[in-house]
Amino acid sequence: MAYTNYAIILEYETGTPGTYAKVGDAQSVDMPKYVTDALESTNHSSAGIRTFVSSKLRGMDAFSATYICDASLITLIKTAMRNKTIVTFRLSGVGDFTSIDFDGFYTSFQILSADATSPEILKATIEIQPTGALATV
């Protein structure tokens, strides 16, 4: 069965454990990539064959999302970045599982171009760097 990518919601924990609020109104979310690095272990006795072992370090790469820009979004991101806040995030509505919870922090915030000759809703792109262990998958 195929799943739609519609209705992906990025939320943050509000300070009360288990209580989440939407980061904002997302228009697009680049899904995070789960990674485990491979370390090359090729040696002189590997008969000319490249070999690899797992680093056993797991994590998620940084990802970005584009939001409809409003004052509450700007305040939320600026405050978190100024205070260097580690935030518990939740991505929900993803395929056949309920949510992905992880800690992370905002690494960038950019209000996108405004073009008077082609007006559209003002948008902003944020980037989040996950850190630590995945709480749930």
In terms of Cα–Cα distance, which of 100, 133, 120, 113 is closest to 29? 100
Q: What would be the CATH architecture of the domain defined by 9-136? A: Roll (2.30)
Q: What is the average pLDDT across 6-19?
A: 84
Q: What pLDDT, on a 0 to 100 scale, did the predictor assign at position 4?
A: 59
Is 77:44 a contact under the CB 8 Å cutoff? no
Note the pLDDT of residue 98.
65
Q: Is 74 helix (H, G, I), strand (E, B) or coil?
A: helix
Is 60 exceeded by the pLDDT of residue 137?
no
Which amino acid is it at 85?
T
How many whole angstroms separate alpha carbon 103 and alpha carbon 13?
10
pLDDT at res. 72: 85
- pLDDT score at 108: 93
With cut-offs at 50, 70 and 90, classify the pLDDT of residue 116: confident
pLDDT at 8 over 70: yes
**93, pLDDT greater than 80:** no
Q: What percent of the chain has pLDDT over 70?
A: 88
Question: Three-state DSSP class for 76?
Answer: helix
Q: Which residues 6+ apart lie within 8 Å of 6 measured at CB?
A: none
In the prediction, which pLDDT does 30 show?
84
Q: What's the mean pLDDT in 63-70?
A: 88
pLDDT at position 135 over 80: no
Confidence of residue 28 (pLDDT cuts 50, 70, 90): confident
For residue 68, give the amino acid letter: I
Angle at the Cα of 94 (from 100 to 70), degrees rounded to 5? 85
Domain positions in the chain are: 9-136
